[in-house]
Structure 1
Amino acid sequence: MFEWYKTGSSQERKTFWACFSGWALDTYDAQMFSFLLPTLMAVWQISKGEAGVLGTAALLSASLGGWIAGILSDRYGRTRILMFTICWFTLLGALAGFTQTYEQMLVVRTLQGLGFGGEWAVGAALMAEVIRPEHRGKAMGFVQSGFSVGWALSAVIMTGLLAYLPAETAWRVAFWVGVIPASCVLFIRRNVKDARIFNEAKAKTEEKASLLSAFRPSVIRLTLLGALLVTGLQAAAYTIMAWLPTLMVQVRGLKPGPVVATMLIMCAGAFAGFVLTSYLADRFGRRPALLVFCVGAWVFTVVYMLVPMSPALLMLMSFPVGAFATGIFAVLGPFLSELFPTHIRTTCMGFSYNLGKSLGALSIAGVGVLSERFGLAQAIGGFCLVAYALSITAVYLLPETRGVRLEDVDAKLGAEAEDPPAQVSTIR
């Protein structure tokens, strides 16, 4: 599992920590807001439906932001755009702490989403281009585990702030505190460089990435199927992460202490899921790993939401829910990066991931609306059932890419070739 790191070059290690820390920060900011939703609902007297729209706003704008960041990354370099995205959503996050009304927060969160969108696709492409093919799944899986670290930090910090500060002050401080980890991430990234394959592809290719690059004949099918895959996974994940704290407090009747313990156990499960999924993806293939974890997430999530449980059992069951529902994302980075040629990789990945992310984010608002009629637990369970069915459909239609060399993807798809990457040579 760790051989890729022990034998890796200095550049591989630097790139890993740069992407890991950035993804952890991205997750920290996103999950922080889910913990603040009950407080904002109480302070501003807004409904669950309005809270759902507020939670969805940044994720919807992330679609446009991620697509634009992907295009700029293909044109001007991965590392430069990654630095800009951190600065953007950190600045807007600090500004959110000064908002006075629901409408102001909605505008600021929407603008902040433009920065969130670029972090994942650009970072995933950078890692894919630096790491050796035989270790790509494991290395990128560990990068994705930064998600569980950011999630755990948000749970601990938000609970502490909400417990020791007045509600009217705590949520503002929560946004301002985000400047500290962002400064650390910028420091870590200062010496990271673009990969050799990216610089070579940029020098060889005259075509510049554009809004239409994701719809080229050679990649449009892969782009849309990738978006379908992400839509299902994100719809389920965002539903769980955005509404779980509210479910614990308002439906299960848990106190802050058990809620934090439950979230931390779920974060530990997520970390274990990232590690296991990344190993399975390199050992058996991207598609088998995705299928197994989709089915597992489907089963555990629905049971967790719909079956009555004691507080102790809720805490224990949160481990497999976190492992399956979020651990599955470890496969997305290597899988999507191996589908597209280098000179338009982040353009296509940015479109697929962020279109799926924004469509999936609609589930947050949808759950808020449906919960008014059917109950919060039932709404969450129903959305998850449909979401994982969409992802399984996409997995069956996409090619296997385990061990693919990115140079071969460039050769096959770089000149509008119609053959999918399933036919390129692989490392066994």
Structure 2
Amino acid sequence: MTTADPNQRIERAEIEDTSLLAFYRDMNAPERRTFWACAAGWALDGMDFMIYPLVIGTIIALWKVDAASAGLAGTVTLLASAIGGWLGGHLSDHIGRVRTLQITIIWFSFFSLVCAVVQNFDQLLIARAVLGLGFGGEWAAGAVLMGEAIRPQYRGRAVGSVQSGWAVGWGLAVLSQAILFSLLPAETAWRWMFVIGALPALLVFYIRRSVTEPEIAAEARARHAETGSHPKLWEIFTFPMVKTTILASLMATGCQGGYYAVTFWVPQFLTKERHLSIVGSTGYLSTLIIGSFIGYLTGAWLADRIGRRNLFLIFSLGAMAVVLLYTQLPLTNEILWVLGFPLGFFASGYFSGIGAFLTELYPTRLRGSGQGFCYNFGRGIGALFPFLVGALSATTSLANAIAMFAVVAYALFFIAAFALPETRGRVLHAD
């Protein structure tokens, strides 16, 4: 079964060395610079996003907002990122992946600083929404950049290893929280968390000096400029790409909706329903993050070893099972601490295959637009889950609300992934 453009040449590269780090040993200097730039960008991106879920309890207490409203700030960030991702991806098809990456990093870093100085919740809501535009565009440009810069036999492992940077960023956010909330009063510490979220801006200096545009992207843009056949924003919704766009968007909705339902509210679940302090919950979140990091690396290896679709199917089922165990069984805190590892592992590891998979589904002329739209459409609809979990928690326990929305999301992820074609090893062309 295939939903890709029938005119697209499909060649597949044989995967010879199946070890996780084979891609890195075989990289040349420009490829390694691109790898580290994207990995650092994704880590800082993850740190910036995870800061808000970590300070949400403090904001609820200081500004007397309810859980649904607090979740709405997370939702509008992700909704805005859906628009930013589509526009950022389209922009990268026109002005280049590297230039778009720089613009979007500066954008969301600046608005993280704005979040640090807001004076009420309404201002924070607006700042997080505007920040989301850059947040979505950064992923679209960076993921396409990595997907095109890496050879097909290594693409799953390389892009997946970059994805593991999210767990590093999450860990940096938790570490920052533990330090700042230990040294400063809560009403000041949360603002300094957002100041730290502006650090990605420093990465732009490295990108400007060290990262070059992928050859096939530059060649495609030159060809379109010569012929006047620039890609249109809506072209991904025309035949024969529309079926791919719909299914990939549904898949992205499921995988991200489940992730956000879990990770956005777990810090509050630990403090509110398990009665842990902010600092006391750090160890539990650390186990979750370690599991997430190992999950990313394992998923990166499996994406090239067993294929993208099999990775998605296995991990979506695993995530459903562990979420139910974590939230529905009367476990002791000690067991919950151990169970954080498989929760992080299954709720994160499948992301390692997403970037490479979406890169391989689209021809080069539409890759930024297609990948940016599908992933960030999923991010936008998945953005409703933090709000809906918060709203439902007013009538049931937070644990039940998390479980309900996570299971629905992972089921959608499984079904959509099953309906899409396997793309492992697909060779990209400047078409």
With the length of structure 2 as denominator, give the TM-score of the two structures: 0.93
SS in 1 for 2:270: helix
1:264 to 286, 306, 310: 286
Distance (whole Å) between structure 2 residues aligned to residue 45 and residue 255 of structure 1? 19
Per the alignment, residue 52 of structure 2 pairs with: 33
Structure 2's unaligned 5+ residue stretches are 1-19
C-alpha distance in 2 between matches for 1:117 and 1:312:
37
Q: Which residue of 2 aligns with 1:189?
A: 207
Aligned partners of 1:258 and 1:311 also within 8 Å? no
Deviation at 1:204, TM superposition (A): 2.1
Q: Deviations over 1:111-130 (max 9, x none)?
A: 11110011112111111111
Q: Deviations over 1:174-201 (max 9, x none)?
A: 111223x324422331220111111111
Aligned counterparts, 1:42-57, within 5 A: 42-57=61-76
The counterpart of 1:123, out of the listed 125, 128, 142, is 142
Q: Which moved more, 1:160-169 or 1:6-15?
A: 160-169
**Matched residue, 1:96:** 115
Instruction: Name the aligned partner's letter for residue 323 of structure 1.
Output: F
| 1:236-315 pair list within 5 angstroms | 236-315=258-337
Q: Deviations over 1:238-274 (max 9, x none)?
A: 1111111100000011133441111111111111111
Q: Which residue of 2 aligns with 1:213?
A: 235
Per the TM alignment, residue 216 of structure 1 is displaced from its structure 2 partner at its CA by 2.4
**Aligned-residue RMSD, C-alpha:** 1.1
Report SS of the residue matched to 1:194.
coil
- Residue deviations 1:370-415 (CA, integer Å, cap 9, x gap): 01101100000000110011011101110010100012xx6xxx5x
Q: 1:213 Cα deviation (Å)?
A: 2.1
Q: 1: distance between equivalents of 2:421 and 2:76?
A: 33
AA aligned opposite 2:94? R
Distance 1:14 1:405 in 2: 22
Distance in 2, matches of 1:207 and 1:259, equals 54
Partners in 2 of 1:178 and 1:105 — Cα distance?
14
* Residue type at the aligned position of 1:187: F
Mapped partners of 2:41, 2:134: distance in 1: 12
- Structure number with higher helix proportion: 1
Distance 1:203 1:209 in 2: 12
After TM superposition, the runs of 4+ consecutive aligned structure 1 residues lying more than 6 A away are none
**1-structure distance, mates of 2:151, 2:55:** 40
Identity of aligned residues (%): 40
2:390 is matched with 368
Partner of 1:6: 25
Would you say the 8 A contact 1:17–1:188 is kept in 2?
no
What amino acid sits opposite 1:48 in the alignment?
A
Alpha-carbon distance between aligned partners in 1 of 2:36 and 2:206, rounded to the nearest angstrom: 7
Match among 134, 148, 162 for residue 167 of structure 2: 148
Alpha-carbon contact 1:41-1:48 (below 8 Å) kept? yes
Q: 2:362 aligns with which of 316, 324, 340?
A: 340
For residues 352-386 of structure 1, the C-alpha deviation after alignment (integer angstroms, 9 at most, x for no partner) is: 01111010110100000001101100000000110
Matched residue SS, 1:374: coil
CA–CA distance in 2 between the matches of 1:352 and 1:75?
18
Distance in 2 (alpha carbons) for counterparts of 1:134 and 1:83: 28
2:405 aligned with 1:387, yes or no? no
Q: Pick 1 or 2: higher relative contact order, CA cutoff 8 A, min separation 6.
A: 2
In the TM superposition, residue 147 of structure 1 has moved relative to its aligned partner by 0.6
Shift of 1:52: 0.9
1:391 maps to amino acid: F
- Mapped pair 1:59 → 2:93: no
Matched, 1:133 2:176: no
Contact 2:109 2:201 in 1 (8 A): no
- Structure 2 residue 105 is matched with structure 1 residue 86: yes
Once residues 178 and 329 of structure 1 are traced to their aligned partners in structure 2, the CA distance between those partners, rounded to angstroms, is 22
- Give the match's secondary structure for 2:188: helix
Secondary structure of 2:264's counterpart equals: helix
Given candidates 99, 105, 114, the residue that maps to 2:124 is 105
Q: Which amino acid aligns with 1:40?
A: I
Q: Establish whether residue 318 from structure 1 lines up as the match of residue 336 from structure 2.
A: no
Greater Cα shift, 246-255 or 212-221: 212-221
Amino acid at match of 1:102: F
Distance of 1:363 and 1:60 partners within structure 2: 11
Most deviating of 201-210 and 243-252:
201-210
SS at match of 2:366: helix
Distance between the aligned counterparts of 1:293 and 1:45, measured in 2? 38
| Counterpart residue number, 1:425 | none
SS of 1:255's equivalent in the other structure is coil
